[in-house]
Amino acid sequence: MQANHSETVQEQFDAQAQAYLQSAVHAAGPDLLRANELIRQVIPASRGRLLDVGCGAGHLSFAVAGALASVVAVDPSPNMLITVGKAAADKSLQNIRTVQASAESLPFDDAHFCVVASRYSAHHWLDLPNALKEMRRVVKPGGYLLMIDIEGDENALVDTHLQAVELLRDRSHVRDRSPSEWGRLIADAGFSDIAHQNWITRLAFEPWVTRMRTSPERVAMIRAMQREAPAEVRQALAIEEDGSFSMKTGLWWAQRQEI
């Protein structure tokens, strides 16, 4: 029987928890520095509670834990959560705990967290609108939403190529949302005062496909797509001779709107 999407996500990521912990792209970046700054600006020192949804190997949780009283790291992958727990202990971050759950069904009381956040996970979520509404439900009135993810492109031609190589590389991929899509989704979920910024992120090809155990057949298809891509796409994605390319990491910061 063919696996459903949730099973595919778990299968893809359970075996790769350590690879994501060690990934240079995931472990650092200006977005993590900015996330820390934003949280420290609005949350009293060591008093806030943050929920990290789709925490992966825990890099966002690790980056902000020092500014908060507690962090709850949520992911559907048991091995990711084991990895987060061990890494947190190694880093002496005693205020991080883990919970297995999906973004669309969060097992927490209403208005429990000061900040709800996610990094490099939402492009795997099957029902992003509902997940954002769940995140709004569990954040306090006046609390904050922090979303970090790969951006889709506003240009349809470029975006089609980006989504195609993403799916060939990782069959659990759903969609990279464009900045305009993110703005609508966040507003529709009940958040306001939406701020957005982004950074160019270069993806070295070999680590990018190795991290996800992409099959040789699919790697060959990605490389063929890159070689045959129109000049506009090659330029927009800064495709290099070895297949390395660049995309944008976007950060959205918004506040729970009271209806």
Distances (CA, A) of 95 to 46, 67, 92, 107, 149: 10, 10, 9, 19, 25
Distance CA 250, CA 191 (A): 17
* pLDDT attached to residue 212: 87
* pLDDT attached to residue 137: 97
Residue linked to tokens 């509404």: 133
Q: What is the DSSP string of the chain?
A: ----HHHHHHHHHHTTHHHHHH-HHHH--HHHHHHHHHHHHHS-TTT-EEEEET-TTSHHHHHHGGGSSEEEEEES-HHHHHHHHHHHHHTT-TTEEEEE-BTTB--S-TT-EEEEEEES-GGG-S-HHHHHHHHHHHEEEEEEEEEEEEPPPSSHHHHHHHHHHHHHH-TT---PPPHHHHHHHHHHTTEEEEEEEEEEEEE-HHHHHHHTT--HHHHHHHHHHHHHS-HHHHHHTT--TTS-EEEEEEEEEEEEPP-
* pLDDT attached to residue 88: 93
Distance CA 141, CA 29 (A): 30
Q: Which two tokens stand for residue 88?
A: 């947190």
Q: Which two tokens stand for residue 144?
A: 């904050």
* pLDDT attached to residue 254: 98
Q: What is the CATH number of domain 5-153+173-200+248-256?
A: 3.40.50.150
* pLDDT attached to residue 259: 64
Calculate the dihedral angle through the C-alpha atoms of 52, 124, 131, 190, rounding to the nearest 10 degrees: 90
Q: Which two tokens stand for residue 98?
A: 């883990």
Q: Mean pLDDT in each 10-residue stretch from start to end of the chain (259 residues)?
A: 58 53 64 95 88 94 94 93 92 95 96 97 96 98 97 98 96 95 97 96 94 94 98 98 97 90
